[in-house]
Structures are given as C-alpha cells and as structure tokens.
Structure 1
Amino acid sequence: MELMRKATRPVRRIAGTAVSAVRRACAGPGRERDLLVQASKAALAAWLAWAVVGWWLAAPMAFVAPWVAVVLVESTVYRSVAHGLQQLAAIAVGTAVATGTALLLDSTMITMALVLPAVLLLGQWRRLGSQGVYAATGALFVLTSGPVTVAASAARIAEAVFGAVVGVAVNVLVRPPVYLRDARAALEDAADEAREILDAVADGLADGEWDGLPVGEWHERALRLGRLVDQARSAIGWSRESMRANPRGRRTRPHLPGDEAYSDALGVLDYVALHTAGVTRTVREIAESGRTARPAPELTRAYAEFLGDTARAVRLYGRTLAAPGVPNDHDDAAAEELHEAVTKLQRTLDDFRRGLPGAVPDDPDALVTYGTLLAQANRLADLLAQD
C-alpha cells in the first residue's frame, strides 16, 4: 500500500498543479489564462487549415498546412509574422533544392546524402534565424513522400503558405497577445521583494541586538532580488515586442509607459537591488565577524529607522509603477504619498548623517562601513526623489 502511495504521489502532485493552474486561468487575467488562450488559438488555426486543405481540397500532403499554422501562433504578433516569413523562405529553399537535385540525379539515396548537409548549413544563415532548420524539413518532405515531381513540390509550398497565413491571421485577429500586465507585475514583484527585505532587516535591527538575526537568509534574498529585476527587464522587452504589428496595440498604447519611463524604473530598481545587497552583506559581516566591533544600539536603531522609511518609499514607488497610464486621482495620490515618504526618508537620513561621527569617534572601521552605507543611501534617496 505504501509503495502504491509513493508511486502515485508524482501523479497527484502534477494533477494538483494542473487543477490549480486551471483555477487561476478561470479566476482572472494572468499567465495561466494567456497560455490557455494561446493553446486554444493554435488548435483553432490547425483545425481551420486542415478543414480547408485536408477535408475540402483533399490535398495529398495536407498535414503541412495545420503543422505550419500551429507553430506560427507565436507569443507575439510580430514574432508570428517574422517567423512566418523566415519559415516559408526556409521551406521553399529546402523544397526547391531537394526537388531539383532529385530530378537531376534520379536517386533518392544519393540526393539525400548530398542535399541534407547543404540545407542544414544553409539553415544557419542569419537571415533565417531560428527557422533555418525548416529548410531540412522541407527537403525531407520531398525525398520521403513518394515520387518527386515539380507539381507535388509546388503543392507542398502552397500548403505551407496557406498554413502560415491561417496561423498568423488567427494570432492577429483572435485576442492578439499583449504583455503589459506581465511587465508591470514583474516591476511590482521586484519592488515588493525589496520592501519586504528592507522591512525585515529594519525590524531585526530595531532593538539594537545582533545575536540570532537571520542575516544569511536576508543576504540570500537580497542576491535573488537582482534576478527579479532582470526578469522585469525581460518582461518589458516582451511587452514592447507584443505591441509591434498588433491591432490591440492601438487601443493599449496610450496606457503604455514610454521607453524613458521603463528605463527610469529599471534604473531605480537596479540600484534598490544593489543597495539592499550591500546593506544585507554589511549586516551579515558585522553579525558574524568577531573582529568587527558592533555599533552602538542608538546608531543601529537610527539606521533601522532609515531602512524602515526606505522600505515604505520603495513600496509606494512600486504602487506608482502599477498604473503607469493616463493620470488619474489614484496615481496623483500615490505620487503624493511617495513624495512625502521620500521627504521623511531624507530627514531620517540627515539625522543619521549628523549622528554618525559622534557615535563612532574611536572606530575608523565602523565609520568606513557606515560611511559606505550612507553614500549608497544618499544615492537611493536621490533616485526615489527624482522619480
């Protein structure tokens, strides 16, 4: 019985994950719903292509059309069009080379030995991009599906063209994908994680005690924060590409932040990640090293207050990233709150700056450590104030 439970555990886990994904797709917009829509569109494109080429026209190689239609329901409209043109060019070249060589040599085996290396090398041509491999696919269709004739090869190219047209048309006309939500969510996730880390460090230092603090965990989370910012950068790239050649982009573009706004947000979050990693590294070194004198409790509490104010400012900054479109009362309120938080942050920073020299008069190492943190903090406060 126990062996049976162990054997079925992976199946139950996969089934549970699938059920959760379906629930999230039904609950509201998100990655799961996007994947479901794209899968449904690919199936629709294949069905339409087969209905025309396979059922109505009864073409001898009808599977080429739905196959091309499926692979061209891409993650963005621009990618569907670009990859469609590249794929058709690759298939046409492979088909033409294989057909001409087979008719000339009248031997499938010799033709395959000569043509496949040539079209595989041709597939590496930069202009064909990731679709170059379809040159070899087109050649194999010619050489493995019966007698080679010019008419049959032309029919395969025509079927591929029809499948590409169907795939691109479905992707363009049926809820063309736009990834603005993913970009904003990635920016918010990075800001929220930074806020949580800074809050945790501030709470840990607030009582002035250093023993028992989870400094290693804080630093590991801070290092992962940089990867979240990189994910946000990648999501922004997807959102920009999803607007190209996209009919929904005309309606969505007024709500899309410009390149400068995205660059500013990434610049701030990059520095937030850098500052957070520097803070947690320094705190870990102080907590774990017996050679480093721990600062006085009043200095630690002052720095904890600064980190708490920083966390609040980062949280409010994340809220301003959540609605970067047409200005409204909510955006104005978030911007005003952020301004107030940054003003308080700068006041706390000034108090910490004035109290620092007197708190460590005989400890040059501690002064250097806190001076470095102070320089980073000044830069971060300035960036938040500018935005």
Structure 2
Amino acid sequence: MWERIAAGWRWLRREVAAVGRTVRFALRASGPERDAMVQALKMAGAAIAAWALAGWWLKAPLALMAPWTALALVDATVYRSLRSGLQQICVIVIGAVWASLAMALANGSTLGAMMIALPVLALVGTYRRFGAQGVYGATTALFVITYGAYSLSEVGHRMLETCIGAVIGITVNAFVFPPVHLRNVREQLQRLPRDSADLLRHMSAELREDWGTAEAEEWRDRARRLQPILRELADARQWTDESLRLNPAWNLRRTGPHPPPESEDARWHGIAEHLSVITRTLATSVDEESHFARPTPAFLDRYAELAERTAEACAAEADLFDEAGDTPSVRERQHRAARDAWQLYDDLADAYGEHTGPSAAAMGELLVETRRILSALPLPEGSGPQERKRGLRRGRRPDPPVNGVAEAGG
C-alpha cells in the first residue's frame, strides 16, 4: 500500500511540475501554452458577456442558453466558430421545437417527453453535417423539458438566447486576439531537418565502428519516426489555411510572417523517403538472406564522413527555419557543409567504378539516395555539384547491376 501511495505522490509531483512549467511558458513568451491560455480566457469572457446581456439586462427566462452557446463557439479558428455557430443554431432549433412538441404530446409529463424526444434527437445528432454540434440537440431538449417551458413564445425565447450567445461567442473569437495558426508549420519543418541530422550523425558515428543488425534496425526505426512528423506537418498546414479563412486579424493587422511555402513540405518529404531507403539498404546489407553484401570498410569510413557533412547541412537548415536563426552566417554554414558533402560524394562516386560484386550493389544504392538528398539541399548560385563521370567509366559495371547506378556516378 505504501508503494502505491509513494507512486501516486511521485505522479502528483510530476503533474504539478508540468503545470508549473506550462504556466511559466505561457507568461514568458508566445507559444502554444500562451495560445491556449488566451483562448481559455476568451471563452470565459464570452460566457460572462452573454450572461450579462441575456440574464442581467434582458432578463431572459432561461438565460443559461446564452453563455452555454458562447462558451462552445470560441473555437480554434474563426472559420470553425462560424461553421459551428450555424450548426449549433440549427441543432438547437430542432431540439427546442421537438422537445416542445414532445411535452405537448406527453401532456407535460417530464418522463414521457424524454421518452419521445431523446431517442429521436440522439439519432439526429449523428447526422454528419452537424459534426460535433449534434449532441446539443438532445441537451437543449433536456433544458426545455426539465424547465417545463414549451409554449411557442417560450421556444422563441430559447432561440433568442441561443442567438445572443452565438453572436457574442463568434464576435469575441473573431475580434479579440483572433487565433492565427502560423507557428506550427514552422515548428514541424524545424523538426524534420533536426531529426534527420541526428539520424545521420548517429549513423556516421556507428559506421566507423563495429556495427551490425541491431544498429541498422535502430537506424531504420529512427528513419520511420520521420513519417509521423510529416503527418503532423500536413495537419499544421491545414490548420494554418483554415485559421486564415474569414479571419479579420489577417486583414486588419499582421500577426506574423507567413509560414514557409508548401514546396518545403514536399522537399523534406522526399529527403525523409531517401533516408528510409538508405537505412533499409544498410540493414539489408547485413542480412544473410539478402542479395546485397556489406560495403567495404574503406567505403563505409568515407561514407560516414559524407553522412556527417550532410548532417551538418541539415542541422543548419533547421536553424534557418527559425526566424531568429535565419542569418547570413547560418546560411554560409549550410552552404559550406553542402559544398563539402558534394565534394565527398564526388570522390566516392569516382572510386565507385573500382568496386565489383554484391557489395557494389549496396554501395551504388547508398550513393544514389545520398545524391538525391544532396540535390534537395540548397546551394548558392553557380556552385552546383561537379558533374563527374569518370567513376563508372574507369571500371567495369558491378555485377549484378543496380537500378540508377549511373546516377550515382554523376
């Protein structure tokens, strides 16, 4: 029992520490934590304003409907608030009218009206056009039935209270620090080159040592972890596009620079795919049942150096995606690393023609995919890779041939 108490105490301390960190982040700098805090305060403010108007000033008989609706409509984007507002008004109208009819059919019996109204409204709420707002039809019916107000004038009051809450919720979300999701795309684009650089550095260090199946499988696993980042990047791009729709903040004032163009998403999607092929090739080369053979130690030593320089170029790109890090010195560091990587690649490609046999197949595949990664990394104008072809011309083609080996040679 004491162990469970101790474990629970440790969990509570971790949760309190996490909450404290979140509060500090929200107060110190802009970020997801501050965005969440602002949205929460807007929800509370909209609900208070709706109650003040409907309950305190207009003396509405069921003023609860106004703050309840306002609270629900301070959503993550202005477009979503407008869409949810229309959906919720439609659902609440259906719920209020059907609940009033059920009360009339049940002669004012609360239980009878619930048995008539709730099954139908629960099914109506599953209609996909209503989205997440569908549940409000049944809850509105519960308010109407338990309150016992089902005359035509009282149903009209429910509509008025709902409209008041919807207008206040949408207005607050649209004109009080309107949410614009520009930061998430840049953050996800930073993660891709940063994690790619970590993978390449890890490979570079272990390729110089005695590595085997376990190390190669770890590289493959790290390359596979890039795929969830790509999916999160696509989601962030969708949120960004939606947050700019019908958003007065983007027209009235600039809230920040645009995120990088979508071409960056496609570029890093390709680099992630090439890294997956490289790690798969290395893992296959140590598989006894594969037609690939392990590259020679001399090739692996030089390829490790190439991976290290490519990692430096990727790490510099991660800094470039940070607005504060996009400086001439960082760009020069990225260009220098990319130029050095191309030089190392050219040397390896020149020497590739001297290799034959099954090991040459793995080497050719590694060179092909690495060239594709380097081709995706930016270089200054006029400093492209040297187009050398001596590598394959000096030696005979490997046996068996590899698709795309000619590309590896330049």
TM-score, with normalisation over the residues of structure 2? 0.82
Among residues 133, 144, 147, which one is paired with 2:146 in the alignment? 144
Aligned to 1:134: 136
1:17 and 2:18 aligned: yes
> Could you tell me which amino acid in structure 2 is paired with residue 380 of structure 1?
I
> Could you tell me which amino acid in structure 1 is paired with residue 309 of structure 2?
D
**Alignment size in residue pairs:** 376
Q: Is the 8 A contact 2:22 2:33 kept in 1?
A: yes
Aligned to 2:254: 252
Aligned to 2:270: 271
Aligned to 1:97: 98
Shift of 1:83: 0.7
Aligned to 2:195: 193
Aligned to 1:309: 309
Shift of 1:234: 1.0
Change (3 A) 1:85 1:333: farther
Measured in 1, the distance between the counterparts of 2:378 and 2:178 equals 38
Q: Is the 8 A contact 1:105 1:111 kept in 2?
A: yes
SS at match of 2:180: coil
Instruction: Give deviations 1:358-378, integer Å, cap 9, x for gaps.
Output: 1x32x22x2222222222222
Q: Is the 8 A contact 2:182 2:256 kept in 1?
A: no
Kindly indicate which of the two structures has a greater share of residues assigned to helix. 1
Change (3 A) 1:3 1:133: closer
> Could you tell me which amino acid in structure 2 is paired with residue 174 of structure 1?
V
Aligned to 2:408: none
Aligned to 2:395: none
Aligned to 1:354: 350
Aligned to 2:321: 321
Shift of 1:381: 2.1
1:280 and 2:279 aligned: yes
Instruction: Give deviations 1:171-212, integer Å, cap 9, x for gaps.
Output: 11221111211211111012211111111211222x354369
Aligned to 1:120: 122
Q: Is the 8 A contact 1:229 1:270 kept in 2?
A: yes
Aligned to 1:37: 38
Aligned to 2:166: 164
Q: Is the 8 A contact 2:335 2:379 kept in 1?
A: no
Q: What does residue range 2-13 of structure 1 map to in structure 2 within 5 Å?
A: 4-13=5-14
Shift of 1:19: 0.8
Instruction: Give deviations 1:82-121, integer Å, cap 9, x for gaps.
Output: 1111111111122122223433553544443333333333
Shift of 1:159: 0.9
Shift of 1:336: 5.5
SS at match of 1:255: coil
Measured in 2, the distance between the counterparts of 1:30 and 1:255 equals 15
> Could you tell me which amino acid in structure 1 is paired with residue 101 of structure 2?
G
SS at match of 1:62: coil
> Could you tell me which amino acid in structure 2 is paired with residue 75 of structure 1?
A
Measured in 2, the distance between the counterparts of 1:290 and 1:5 equals 51
Q: Which runs of 5+ in 2 are unaligned?
A: 381-410
> Could you tell me which amino acid in structure 2 is paired with residue 193 of structure 1?
D
Which range moves more in the overlay, 163-172 or 98-107? 98-107
Q: Is the 8 A contact 1:317 1:338 kept in 2?
A: yes
Shift of 1:382: 2.2
Aligned to 2:362: 369
1:231 and 2:227 aligned: no
Measured in 1, the distance between the counterparts of 2:7 and 2:307 equals 47
Change (3 A) 1:18 1:83: same
> Could you tell me which amino acid in structure 2 is paired with residue 352 of structure 1?
L
Q: Which runs of 5+ in 1 are unaligned?
A: none
Aligned to 1:382: 375
Which range moves more in the overlay, 2-11 or 243-252? 2-11
**Larger relative contact order (Cα-Cα within 8 Å, sequence gap ≥ 6):** 1
Aligned to 1:85: 86
Shift of 1:322: 3.1
Q: Is the 8 A contact 1:209 1:297 kept in 2?
A: no
- What is the root-mean-square deviation of aligned Cα atoms in Å? 2.8
Shift of 1:227: 0.8
Instruction: Give deviations 1:1-26, integer Å, cap 9, x for gaps.
Output: 76643342222121111111111112
Q: Is the 8 A contact 2:275 2:369 kept in 1?
A: no
Shift of 1:56: 3.1
Measured in 1, the distance between the counterparts of 2:254 and 2:330 equals 22
Q: Is the 8 A contact 2:65 2:165 kept in 1?
A: yes
Q: Is the 8 A contact 2:75 2:81 kept in 1?
A: yes
Which range moves more in the overlay, 291-300 or 268-277? 291-300
Measured in 1, the distance between the counterparts of 2:85 and 2:328 equals 44
